[in-house]
């Protein structure tokens, strides 16, 4: 595979950027300021990396106007309003991810009454069940399983080995990484004298447009109605979304988050890694939950919420943790002292 090469001029045009430097300079890739070589484009998004700008060997740097004018760097630049966003946009030009050709691989199994658009690609050993619908320009990797009546909207990309159970409805341009399982049977049981009786999970999963689902993430089907994932939602790896959860548009979750059943999360929330949420609560729009927090009740005000405890040297932590077990006692003793002093201050001795 030969490297793709663009000129600085082409990239400037693509971005609508102001070009400072020679338009014909070749660019064959992207790299950080420290690591970029003379054929690589770099970017300055985080001010803490400004110190690496002067010494960078990059062919050019994506810069905000203020940084381009600042002292200390007069090298080639593509000047844009938001260098990080410009980097995101250009990154796709240099992606070496293989692009599958349209058509169904000879080893794939497509049910007679499934519909696969002629522009879609279906990989080796993939299985597409009865009544499924695969839209235009969809790419389905090897070993994927698309259950009965499931729908994948146009432009979707499934890595190898993704499972969609039956009755999973997915919008357009949705990306799903390897090992993800969508539509598994939610954890529903009725207890009959100590024995758990399974409740069939009759709902499906409905996923909006432009959603990304990470490797080995699981989204269970609903018990009665569907589990719902809004437009533009981004889910990292190893996330667990239980049955009948609803996630609002453009909410992002980092790895290892677990959301219990029937919880509703608003739009434009950010949920950091390792957060857990109990079931049947409502989280409003615009909430940021920091790492490893346990969300035990509904949140009705936008803002940041936490309960993750930061590490200490173990010897120090052991002392804090031992005291924590007796915190109620400690608080009561403090109250006692306060009372005694209050009494004392009213006594003639202090008068």
Dihedral sign from CA coordinates of 55, 58, 63, 65: positive
Q: Nearest-CA neighbor of 123 among 139, 147, 146?
A: 139
Q: Which stretch binds a second copy (CB under 8 A): 12-20, 49-57, 65-73, 285-293?
A: 285-293
Output the smallest distance, CB 75 to a second copy, in A: 19
Rounded distance, CA 32 to CA 92, Å? 16
4 lines the binding site for a second copy (CB under 8 A): no
Binding a second copy (rule: CB under 8 A), the pick from 7, 26, 52, 278 is 278
268 lines the binding site for a second copy (CB under 8 A): yes
CA distances from 16 to 13, 87, 89, 134 (A): 5, 13, 12, 35
Output the smallest distance, CB 192 to a second copy, in A: 5
Rounded distance, CA 29 to CA 73, Å? 21
Residue listed under structure tokens 């729009």: 285
Cβ proximity of 238 and 216 under 8 Å:
yes
Determine which helix (DSSP H) or strand (DSSP E) holds 340, and give its type and residue range.
helix 327-346
Using DSSP bridges, classify how beta strands 133-134 and 145-146 pair: parallel, antiparallel or unpaired. unpaired
Output the smallest distance, CB 71 to a second copy, in A: 27
> Is the Cβ of residue 10 or residue 306 nearer to a second copy in the bound state?
306
55 lines the binding site for a second copy (CB under 8 A): no
Which 10-39 positions form the footprint of a second copy (CB under 8 A)? 29-32, 35
Residue listed under structure tokens 């447009």: 209
Binding mask of the shown chain, residues 324 to 343, with x at each position contacting a second copy by CB under 8 A: xxxxx-xx-xx--xx-xx--
Which 199-258 positions form the footprint of a second copy (CB under 8 A)? 199-202, 212, 214-216, 218, 220, 224-225, 232, 234, 236-238, 240, 242, 250, 252, 254-256, 258
Binding a second copy (rule: CB under 8 A), the pick from 28, 273, 282, 284 is 273
Which 101-130 positions form the footprint of a second copy (CB under 8 A)? 107, 109, 123-125, 127, 129-130
User: Per the structure block, which two tokens stand in for 328?
Assistant: 């109620």
């Amino acid at each position: 595979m030969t490297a793709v090469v663009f000129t600085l001029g082409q990239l400037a045009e693509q971005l609508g950027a102001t070009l400072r430097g020679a338009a014909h300079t070749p660019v064959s890739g992207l790299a950080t300021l420290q690591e970029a070589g003379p054929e690589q484009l770099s970017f300055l998004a985080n001010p803490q990396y400004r110190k690496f700008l002067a010494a960078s060997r990059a062919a050019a740097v994506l810069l905000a106007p203020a940084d381009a004018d600042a002292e200390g760097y007069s090298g080639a630049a593509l000047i844009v309003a938001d260098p990080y966003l410009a980097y995101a946009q250009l990154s796709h030009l240099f992606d070496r991810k293989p692009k599958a050709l349209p058509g169904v691989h000879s080893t794939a199994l497509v049910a007679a009454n499934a519909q696969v658009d002629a522009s879609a690609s279906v990989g080796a050993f993939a299985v597409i069940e009865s009544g499924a619908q695969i839209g235009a320009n969809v790419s389905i990797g090897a070993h994927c399983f698309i259950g009965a009546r499931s729908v994948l909207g146009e432009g979707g990309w499934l890595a190898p080995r993704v499972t969609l159970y039956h009755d999973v409805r997915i919008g357009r341009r949705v990306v799903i990484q390897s090992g993800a399982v969508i539509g598994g049977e939610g954890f529903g049981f009725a207890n009959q004298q100590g024995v758990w009786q399974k409740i069939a999970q009759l709902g499906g999963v409905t996923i909006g447009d432009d959603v990304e689902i990470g490797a080995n993430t699981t989204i269970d089907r609903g018990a009665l109605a569907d589990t719902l994932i809004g437009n533009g939602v981004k889910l990292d790896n190893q996330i667990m979304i239980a049955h009948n959860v609803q996630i609002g548009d453009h909410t992002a979750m980092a790895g290892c988050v677990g959301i219990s059943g029937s919880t509703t999360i608003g739009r434009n929330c950010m949920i950091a890694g390792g957060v857990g949420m109990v079931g049947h609560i409502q989280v409003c729009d615009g909430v940021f939950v920091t790492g490893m927090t346990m969300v035990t009740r509904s949140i009705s005000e936008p803002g940041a919420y936490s309960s993750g405890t930061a590490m200490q040297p173990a010897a120090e932590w052991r002392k804090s943790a031992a005291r924590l077990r007796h915190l109620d006692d400690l608080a009561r003793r403090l109250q006692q002292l306060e009372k005694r002093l209050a009494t004392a201050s009213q006594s003639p001795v202090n008068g």
